[in-house]
């Protein structure tokens, strides 16, 4: 029987993706392991492999299509001996359900199961990562919302909201005990009352931003152009808002004297072995020292190497340091795993590789997901000091400014020294003031005395 090929979930947070390119055409023979298509997520471009063999009977979603929902049918594969034209004619969208017809190249393949007779409907399978649950029902269908809140609405109201493509969770109910009724949906359709998404009990109501129309009305028509948001920018914007609304940030700042670091860096780079063309085997950056220092500081202050969850604190054994890398349209944070155990040369080599592949959108999900902390360095742009937004699920992020000569007082005299300002943003639920100060103090000690990083 024919197999529906569904849009794969290439990461736990992926909801939609762009079908960048088909590498097979309708009528092409497909073997297990063949690359079928390239899918763009918010972070990377991934190749999708075929698990089954057969003939690509129908391409349902053409290349270049954006915002294709996870588990939507993108193609139909006719099995060995099946009628290709009949399989293509029967292509239709599939309900969102868990299965495994295709696999991203970074995920293991799973074999095709035994099918039923030709009269059976096409199998509808999707490669959700192991352990991932099917998408939750829409709000208003009796599904508990965060913190135990529920959206109470009448069946008619839910149907009207669905037909009008309105999120019923944003409709203000006027029925008994706030129940949403048909009249409320009609009011919402005409631009009437709506409410913010459910918040934790006792939390302040969420302020809604002004509508696009209200913002555009502030400017003279024709004085601007509208540049549509791409998928990357929309997801980054949503996650930054979530981070600032759900994580209680606080900030600690120190000035670090880096004369010793600069001298050590110059000496290490000068002594690097060279190949036959005179190219050095490595070239350390200040950021390499920052990554190593932060990784070792988390080992010295292990209570700060944590992740907050509602059920309990995750206390990590290793320092997995994410490093913000600028890519077209936004940022990505590849992770140096077990950074406390790696030499500066290895960290430097990994970061150069990560940065190159990140800009080409070739990072694998496991290379930028997770981590226990992060570094954001704007020193190369001349920024003296800034505070970064925490990247969930991290509890900390270190913002590093430019190293520059500043006057300091030493032995009662004003002298010039190279100073670098670093600001630690912390999740106050997981890392309180004293603990954050201890972590930042450990970082300052290490960055000012780089020889301690190799002891």
Tell me the average pLDDT of the chain: 81
248-299 tens-digit pLDDT? 999 999 999 999 999 999 999 999 898 888 888 889 999 999 999 999 999 9
Helices (H), 211-285: 212-216, 231-246, 259-270
327, β-bridge pairs: 330
312-361 tens-digit pLDDT? 999 999 999 999 998 877 888 999 999 999 999 999 999 999 999 988 88
Residue of 372, 388, 380 whose CA lies nearest to 422: 388
Residue 427 in contact with residue 310, Cβ under 8 Å? no
Q: Which CATH number among 4.10.320.10, 3.40.50.150, 3.40.50.300, 2.40.50.100 corresponds to the domain 146-226?
A: 4.10.320.10
The 10 Å Cβ neighbour count of residue 83 is 13
160-184 tens-digit pLDDT? 888 888 888 778 777 666 778 888 8
Considering the segment(s) 236-454 as one domain, its CATH architecture is 2-Layer Sandwich (3.30)
Q: Which residues make Cβ contacts (< 8 Å) with residue 141, sequence separation at least 6?
A: 158
- Would the CA dihedral through 299, 303, 307, 311 be positive or negative? positive
Domain boundaries, the chain: 3-125, 146-226, 236-454
Q: Is 428 a catalytic residue?
A: yes
Give pTM, 2 decimals: 0.62
pLDDT top residue among 127 and 400 = 400
Give dist(CA 295, CA 316) in Å, integer: 12
Give dist(CA 366, CA 172) in Å, integer: 41
> Encoding tokens for residue 400?
């590093």
pLDDT top residue among 277 and 86 = 277
Give dist(CA 393, CA 243) in Å, integer: 9
Q: Which residues of 140-151 are buried (b: 16+ CB within 10 A; e: fewer)?
A: beeeeeeeeeeb
* pLDDT score at 183: 81
DSSP assignment, residue 226?
A: -
Give dist(CA 287, CA 133) in Å, integer: 38
Looking at the domain 3-125, which fold is it? OB fold (Dihydrolipoamide Acetyltransferase, E2P) (2.40.50)
């Amino acid at each position: 029987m024919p197999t529906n090929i569904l849009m794969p979930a290439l990461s736990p947070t992926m909801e939609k993706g762009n079908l960048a390119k088909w590498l097979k055409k309708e009528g092409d023979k497909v073997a297990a392991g063949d690359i079928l298509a390239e899918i763009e997520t918010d972070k990377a471009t991934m190749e999708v492999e075929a698990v089954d063999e057969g003939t690509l009977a129908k391409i349902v979603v053409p290349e270049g299509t954006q915002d294709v929902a996870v588990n939507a049918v993108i193609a139909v594969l006719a099995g060995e001996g099946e009628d290709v034209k009949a399989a293509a004619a029967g292509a239709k969208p599939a309900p969102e359900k868990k299965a495994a017809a295709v696999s991203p190249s970074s995920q293991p393949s799973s074999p095709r199961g035994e099918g039923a007779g030709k009269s059976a409907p096409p199998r509808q399978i999707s490669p959700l990562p192991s352990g991932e649950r099917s998408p939750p029902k829409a709000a208003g269908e009796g599904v508990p919302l965060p913190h135990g809140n529920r959206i109470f609405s009448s069946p008619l109201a839910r149907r009207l909201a669905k037909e009008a493509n309105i999120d019923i969770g944003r409709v203000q109910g006027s029925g008994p005990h706030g129940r949403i009724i048909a009249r409320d949906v009609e009011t919402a359709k005409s631009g009437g009352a709506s409410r913010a998404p459910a918040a934790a009990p006792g939390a302040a109501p969420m302020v809604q931003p002004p509508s696009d129309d209200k913002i555009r009305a502030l400017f003279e028509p024709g004085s601007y152009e509208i540049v549509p948001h791409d998928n990357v920018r929309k997801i980054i914007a949503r996650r930054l808002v979530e981070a600032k609304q759900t994580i209680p940030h606080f900030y600690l700042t120190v000035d670090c004297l880096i004369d010793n670091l600069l001298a050590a860096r110059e000496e290490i780079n000068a002594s690097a072995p060279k190949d036959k063309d005179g190219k050095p085997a490595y070239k350390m950056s200040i950021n390499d020292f920052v990554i190593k220092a932060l990784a070792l500081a988390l080992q010295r202050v292990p209570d700060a190497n944590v992740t907050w969850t509602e059920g309990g604190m995750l206390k990590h054994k290793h320092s997995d340091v994410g490093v913000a890398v600028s890519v077209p349209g936004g940022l990505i944070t590849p992770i140096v795993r077990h950074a406390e155990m790696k030499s500066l040369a290895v960290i430097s080599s990994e970061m150069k590789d990560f940065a190159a592949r990140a800009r080409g959108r070739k990072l694998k999900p496991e290379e930028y997901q997770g981590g226990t902390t992060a570094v954001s360095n704007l020193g190369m742009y001349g920024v003296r000091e800034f505070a970064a937004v925490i990247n969930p699920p991290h509890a900390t992020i270190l913002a590093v400014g430019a190293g520059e000569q500043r006057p300091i007082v030493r032995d009662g005299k004003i002298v010039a020294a190279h100073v670098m300002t670093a600001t630690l943003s912390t999740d106050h639920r997981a890392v309180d003031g004293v603990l954050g100060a201890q972590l930042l103090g450990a970082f300052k000690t290490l960055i000012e005395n780089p020889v301690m990083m190799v002891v």
